[in-house]
Structure 1
Amino acid sequence: MIEEGKIAPDFTLPDSTGKMVSLSEFKGRKVLLIFYPGDDTPVCTAQLCDYRNNVAAFTSRGITVIGISGDSPESHKQFAEKHKLPFLLLSDQERTVAKAYDALGFLGMAQRAYVLIDEQGLVLLSYSDFLPVTYQPMKDLLARIDAS
């Protein structure tokens, strides 16, 4: 994973509507990038729904949540609508952002990982799950955010 304390690499990716979104648009705000392997898979669905269920915990801390996987914008749109996900899902079909953040798994898909970026663009936290079938419990993630 990208080292904490480094400048987060800027990127531009399409969202679920095809609109291009750049990380630099969020300068001045904290951003939590959530890398995940794929839409509508059992563990990813549980993970993203957990973020959905706790989105108020992020917004109350001034954090914008953004999900990133290699799925297409169309797949993201269906996934977000089906599960009522209230945050951006960005399509990294070439895996360039996953590579830039060292979040590319051994199967060529994004690892299950997160990166918290501060208002100036510095990486505050980075974490990757060793096993692709689990993800860090929300209480542990929030505790790490509060301690940063």
Structure 2
Amino acid sequence: MASGPQLGSAAPDFTLPGGVLSGSGETFERADYRLTAARGRSVVLAFYPGDNTTVCTKQLCSYSSGMEAFEGLDADVWGISPQGVDSHESFARAFGLRMPLLADEGREIAKAYGVSAPGIGVRRAVFLIGPDGILRWKHVALLGATFQSLDTLTNRLSGIKGA
């Protein structure tokens, strides 16, 4: 496994297709998400192995239910996995997910962040990127059976916002 970006360095830029449920939850709005376009706000990148899997579902539902806390800290949350946008749309609809789910089908972004893994595809990982595009915190799981909690992420983001 590559080490990926180091704390205090610029986060690797990328553009990925994805989508998010609209406010009404009835439409799935597709777009291309570019990291540099998010400058001025913190970004939580949550890499996860797969749509509709037990731990991934718990993780993303937890983050989705805490979107107001992230918004209060001027942070966007983006989920990234190797499945395509159609899979993400089905997953988001089934669980009412409110954050963009981005399709890294070739795992190029996972490789750039050092979380591509043989066999499972992508390691469960979270990267917190400051509004200036600098990587401020990261956690890469070895096994991926657990995930970083909403409280952990909002506490870390509070430190970024206060810095």
**TM-score using structure 2 length:** 0.84
Other structure's SS at 2:105 match:
coil
> Which ranges of structure 1 fall in alignment gaps of 5 or more residues?
none
Mapped partners of 1:82, 1:138: distance in 2: 21
Give the Å deviation of 1:104. Answer: 1.5
Q: Which residue of 2 aligns with 1:50?
A: 62
Structure 2 letter corresponding to 1:12: T
Q: Does 1:77 align with 2:77?
A: no
Which one of 12, 15, 21 corresponds to residue 12 of structure 1?
A: 15
Give the Å deviation of 1:143. Answer: 2.5
Give the Å deviation of 1:18. Answer: 4.8
Other structure's SS at 1:15 match:
strand
Give the Å deviation of 1:128. Answer: 1.1
Other structure's SS at 2:79 match:
strand
Cα contact 1:129–1:136 (8 A) shared by 2: no
**How many residues were matched structurally?**
148
Moved more, 17-26 or 48-57: 17-26
Which one of 86, 93, 110 corresponds to residue 122 of structure 2?
A: 110
Alignment root-mean-square deviation, CA? 1.5
Cα contact 2:41–2:75 (8 A) shared by 1: yes
More strand by share: 2
How many percent of aligned residue pairs carry the same amino acid? 37
Other structure's SS at 2:90 match:
helix
Q: Which residue of 1 aligns with 2:107?
A: 95
> Which ranges of structure 2 fall in alignment gaps of 5 or more residues?
20-28
Give the Å deviation of 1:108. Answer: 5.0
Moved more, 110-119 or 134-143: 134-143
